Chain A
């Protein structure tokens, strides 16, 4: 399974790079003219230097060949036209910010969404179930950017419970870069004050992102649990007098987990790659912001770099989901 997925990853990366190059060539535009100011764009020497710097003076096939060569041999994703830096360095700055937000948000969504879903299934068709379904539907329906603004207004401005935007308080300098996750890096550096600051800053955007996923996880868990709760082996376990605290986690939740894991995997991928609006409102310098900037400025190396990252995330998430599903459900291993 792992080998199959790794092979797929190689083909996917190849396809994504090709797609990125072809699409950018199809778009009727000109990166030098799109990115340079009026006077610079009217200066042939500056335009020429720009085109040479980013290889735009070469035919697309040659550029693609050189790109692949550098990618395969050196892991080099080229230089961003926008920042002028290697895309790899840009991604190293932006990805950890999103990863930290996504991990904490998913943790919050999981520890609330799964138990709530199980609870709702066990109390199916009761008033508690109806209330939970309504709340989870509400959580899924609220636009995250709107929720982000409301949350910031209430919890930062009105009640002063959370700090403002960004990853740290403005006067705090980030800890030395180890993982790029500021909470982890602060702990590694032994700076506990900085750890608190980083943790405080990530909580509100993480909560906002978690709200929708709580609803999703609760609904999917409820439905998956309902599918197994009346299975023969559950009835047998009950008939044998097993206590509820054993039946629910071992026989019901475990059997219901594989489809829920699939949803969790997809949701994690979405949070990692699609948080641009929430990142924007919380001034969170993550991959969503980077992809927006690179797309609007036709920064091809950055666009392809982001595409590769997104493809990589989804492949890895699918792989993880398959492995975890096989671990919790022996029937899948046999299959």
Chain B
């Protein structure tokens, strides 16, 4: 009796379970694209462009569903091109931008897109004062002098505005629908806007796709039949979240019309032989950098310019690049090569151990030591880099104490400008060299490094000049000159742009990394 019942129970589990699993498996998904990402998607902020639009992980969704005034061509972020705006005109001082809109655009519900919708979108983002509001810092006016003309006014010169308006957080929303759902663009929007709830289940854009559903596992989009542009290859896109890299590795082998975003170089290499996969390594526009704090109250050694030079010449940059994954490349300056104003990689500073030792001797410091702060990561990349930096600097006589902490502890410390030495990553906010003015004295990264306003008047003046002209050729020249000077004078040392591997099914085309919206889902196609 006992034996019989036990065998029955075991039988249920051992035979029944796989049988149930096998039954009916294998649904058709010929016109469905599946993208696996490892981010934690949170319904709420994750579907409202004015709240979560700058999050790089949800960027492909926003880019597919909402349209922006200007955009970029696939694989080219050097110059914005027309999109909702047919053209734009900047004032000579780069304080006023006039955009002329297309007249044939409709939202997915059929409402026409006019300048009033653009005004509402921009004012709502500003007044919500949620994370993406920084994009419109310094904007003093957004107005619609006519039905298809939109004007943006800035208090200071801002030639980066054409690049900024490509950001998916500024994706234009249907103001009529959103206002009916509690959306506000008034100064009290931060506390009274309730439209995010509606956006959890609906999209109000004019892009090539519309939101079907979003939950804690995935975002599902369907092609927008009212989209004015070219028809997309896939009728359905499923953007899955919380898929760890190890699982993506398995999914890649089994998947069809599938893209995996988070495989490490090693994991991707193990897939290179697969006949049904494309494994492409890209150089990301993100930047790993190291700084030595200049504030003597934080570290006495760091405030010594010879010590900073010893670090500058003591680092084994090529060794660090190797830890950055497939596609990683040495950064000559903070501005990544995808943006205009970047230095050629060949201009990057190289290791010079003799010079580093000479500088250390000149510093007068005897066996100096310094604490290196960094944010611990699940991938272990920062940890490996920190260990390499410690080894490099030890070889020239500098003792580095490693202090890796989770972001919740590490970031507040960084932003209180208290890191003696710090290893960090900069993710571009918009593809324009103006974003990298942050690395100058008195600016965001400069302040973190204790590099205060007035610390290098020449660089600061050049930065102010570069940020105040709308002549892109002149700006590019000025930014290159700034970076050349920073290479030898700055306590902030650009290390490398990390690699990013995209693994996709062999039949997929146009799977290209973009520094703003990560992937342009609507442009992904298939081989004939």
CB pair B247 A152 closer than 8 Å: yes
Query: Given that A49-B129, A193-B24 are contacting pairs, would A33 and B243 also be in contact in the complex, using a CB cutoff of 8 Å?
Result: no
Smallest distance from the beta carbon of A168 to chain B beta carbons, Å?
Answer: 8
| A33 and B412 contact, Cβ closer than 8 Å, known pairs A38-B426, A40-B134, A42-B444 | yes
Tell me the A281-314 residues at the B interface (CB within 8 Å): 281-283, 285, 289, 293, 296-298
Q: A222 interface residue, CB < 8 Å from B?
A: no
Contact A52–B216 (Cβ < 8 Å): no
Chain A's closest residue to B32 (CB) is A171
User: Is A174's CB within 8 Å of the partner chain B?
Assistant: yes
**Contacts known (A49-B130, A84-B51, A111-B12); A296 close to B408, Cβ less than 8 A:** yes
Query: Is A66 part of the contact surface with B, judged by Cβ < 8 Å?
Result: no
| Contact B243 A283, beta carbon cutoff 8 Å | yes
Interface pair B415/A203, CB less than 8 Å apart = no
CB distance from B515 to the nearest CB of A (A): 15
> Does B215 lie within 8 Å of A93, measured CB to CB?
yes
Query: Which residues 111-165 of A sit at the B interface, judged by CB distance below 8 A?
Result: 111-112, 115-116, 118-119, 122, 149, 152-153, 155-157, 160-165
Q: Chain A residue with minimal CB distance to B129?
A: A49
B18 to chain A, nearest CB (A): 5
Is the pair A93, B412 in contact by a Cβ cutoff of 8 Å? no
A22 at the interface (CB under 8 A from B): no
Q: CB within 8 A of A43: which of B54, B137, B240, B242?
A: B137
Most A-side CB within 10 Å, residue of B190, B408, B438 = B408
CB pair A29 B215 closer than 8 Å: no
Instruction: Kindly list chain B residues whose C-beta atoms are within 8 Å of the C-beta of A282.
Output: 247
A172 to B2, CA, bound (A): 42
Give CA–CA (A85, B47) in the complex, Å.
Answer: 12
Residues from chain B with a CB closer than 8 A to the CB of A29 are: 408-409, 412
Please name the residue on chain B nearest to A164 by beta carbon: B251
**Which B11-44 residues have C-beta < 8 A from chain A?**
12-13, 17-18, 20-25, 27-29, 32, 34, 40, 42-44
Contacting pair B9 A200 (CB below 8 A): no
- Establish whether residues A170 and B408, one from each chain, have CB atoms under 8 Å apart when the complex forms: no
Cα of A49 to Cα of B244 in the assembled complex, Å: 33
Shortest beta-carbon distance, B10 to chain A, in Å? 6
Contact with B along A76-98 (1 / 0, CB 8 A): 00001011110000100110010
Q: Is A70 an interface residue (CB 8 A)?
A: no
Selected contact of B25 from candidates A152, A163, A167, CB within 8 Å: A163
Q: How close is A257's CB to chain B, nearest CB, in angstroms?
A: 16
CA distance A190 to B45 in the complex (A): 32
Contact A33 B411 (CB under 8 A): yes
A233 at the interface (CB under 8 A from B): no
| B218 CB to nearest chain A CB (Å) | 7
B43 near A83 with CB under 8 A, answer: yes
Which residues of B, 388-437, contact A by the 8 Å Cβ criterion?
406-409, 411-412, 415-416, 426-427, 429
Taking the nearest CB of chain B, how far is it from the CB of A115, in angstroms?
A: 4
| Residues of B close to A171: CB separation below 8 A | 27-29, 32, 236, 238
Decide yes or no: A166 and B218 within 8 Å by CB, A34-B407, A84-B44, A193-B24 being known contacts. Answer: yes
Is B191 among interface residues, defined by CB-CB distance under 8 A? yes
Cross-interface CB contact of B217 among A27, A53, A161, A166, cutoff 8 Å: A166
Which one of B45, B254, B407, B444 lies within 8 Å of A84 (CB-CB)? B45
Answer yes or no: B3 CB below 8 A from chain A CBs.
yes
Closest chain A CB from B181 CB (angstroms) = 16
- Least CB distance from A212 to B in Å reads 15
Report yes or no: A245 in contact with B247, Cβ–Cβ below 8 A: no
Would you list which residues of chain B between 242 and 283 have a CB under 8 Å from chain A? 242-244, 246-247, 250-251, 253-254
- Tell me how far the C-beta of A112 lies from the nearest C-beta in chain B, rounded to whole angstroms: 6
Considering only residues 295-341 of chain B, those with a C-beta below 8 Å from chain A are: none
Q: Is the CB of B9 within 8 A of A39?
A: no
Q: How far is the CB of B132 from chain A (nearest CB, A)?
A: 8
Task: Please give, as numbers and ranges, the residues of chain B lying within 8 Å of A57 by CB-CB distance.
Answer: none
Q: Which residue in A155, A163, A297 is a CB contact (below 8 Å) of B408?
A: A297
In the complex, per-residue mask of B186-219: 1 if CB is within 8 Å of any chain A CB, else 0: 0000110000100000000000000011011110
B118 contacts A by Cβ under 8 Å = no
The answer to the question of B1 belonging to the interface, with a C-beta cut-off of 8 Å to chain A, is yes
Count B-side interface residues using an 8 Å CB cutoff: 75
Q: Interface readout for A215-251 with B: 1 if CB under 8 Å, 0 if not?
A: 0000000000000000000000000000011001000
CB-CB under 8 A from B2, the residues of chain A are 115, 118-119, 122, 244-245, 248
Instruction: For B132, list chain A residues within 8 Å (CB).
Output: 40
Say yes or no for B131: interface residue by CB 8 A criterion. yes
Would A296 and B407 be within 8 Å (CB), given that A41-B415, A289-B242 are in contact? yes
Are A83 and B32 within 8 A (Cβ)? no
In the complex the two chains form, is A170's CB within 8 Å of B250's CB? no
A52 with B190: in contact, given A28-B409, A83-B46, A157-B253 (CB under 8 Å)?
yes
User: Shortest distance in angstroms between B462's beta carbon and chain A's nearest beta carbon?
Assistant: 22
Bound CA–CA A127/B6 (angstroms): 17
Report yes or no: B10 in contact with A112, Cβ–Cβ below 8 A: yes
Give Cα distance in the complex from A289 to B438, angstroms: 35
Chain A residues with Cβ under 8 A from B27's Cβ? 169, 171-172, 197
**Is A26 part of the binding interface, using a Cβ–Cβ cutoff of 8 Å?**
no
- A166 to B242 CA separation, bound complex (whole angstroms): 9
Interface check B5, CB cutoff 8 A? yes
Q: Across the interface, which residues of B come within 8 angstroms of A296, CB to CB?
A: 406-408
Shortest Cβ distance from residue A272 to the other chain B in the assembled complex, whole angstroms: 17
Among B130, B196, B250, B444, point to the contact of A156 (Cβ < 8 A). Answer: B250
B342 interfacial by beta-carbon distance below 8 Å: no
Q: Are A46 and B13 in contact (CB under 8 A)?
A: no
CA–CA, A280 to B39, complex, Å?
11
The reply to whether B242 and A85 contact each other, CB–CB distance below 8 Å, is no
Instruction: Tell whether B101 is near chain A: CB-to-CB under 8 Å.
Output: no
Most chain B CB neighbours (cut-off 10 Å) among A28, A83, A282? A83
Contact partner of B21 (CB less than 8 A), chosen from A53, A161, A245, is A161
Answer whether A83 and B42 are a contact pair too, CB < 8 Å, given A165-B247, A282-B247: yes
Kindly identify, within residues 10 to 28 of chain A, every residue whose CB is under 8 Å from any CB belonging to chain B: 27-28
Which residues of the partner chain B approach A160 to less than 8 Å between Cβ atoms? 25, 254
30 CB < 8 A contacts A-B: A33-B412, A34-B411, A37-B134, A38-B445, A39-B444, A42-B415, A43-B137, A45-B133, A93-B43, A108-B17, A111-B12, A115-B5, A115-B6, A116-B10, A161-B22, A162-B18, A164-B251, A165-B251, A170-B29, A170-B238, A170-B240, A196-B23, A200-B20, A200-B23, A200-B24, A203-B20, A248-B1, A285-B216, A289-B242, A298-B408
Give me the interface of A with B, judged by CB distance under 8 Å. Answer: 27-31, 33-34, 36-43, 45-46, 48-50, 52-53, 80, 82-85, 90, 93-94, 97, 108, 111-112, 115-116, 118-119, 122, 149, 152-153, 155-157, 160-174, 193, 196-197, 199-200, 203-204, 207, 244-245, 248, 280-283, 285, 289, 293, 296-298
Q: Which 9 A-B pairs have the closest CB atoms?
A: A49-B129, A285-B216, A83-B42, A85-B44, A83-B44, A39-B134, A33-B412, A245-B1, A115-B6
Q: A38-B444, A46-B133, A112-B10 are in contact. List 20 more A-B contacts (CB 8 A).
A: A27-B408, A34-B411, A39-B444, A40-B134, A49-B130, A52-B190, A80-B44, A115-B6, A149-B246, A155-B18, A171-B29, A173-B212, A197-B24, A200-B24, A200-B25, A203-B17, A207-B13, A248-B2, A281-B246, A289-B216
Chain B: residues with CB nearer than 8 A to chain A? 1-3, 5-6, 9-10, 12-13, 17-18, 20-25, 27-29, 32, 34, 40, 42-46, 51, 54, 128-134, 137, 190-191, 196, 212-213, 215-218, 220, 236, 238, 240-244, 246-247, 250-251, 253-254, 406-409, 411-412, 415-416, 426-427, 429, 438, 444-445
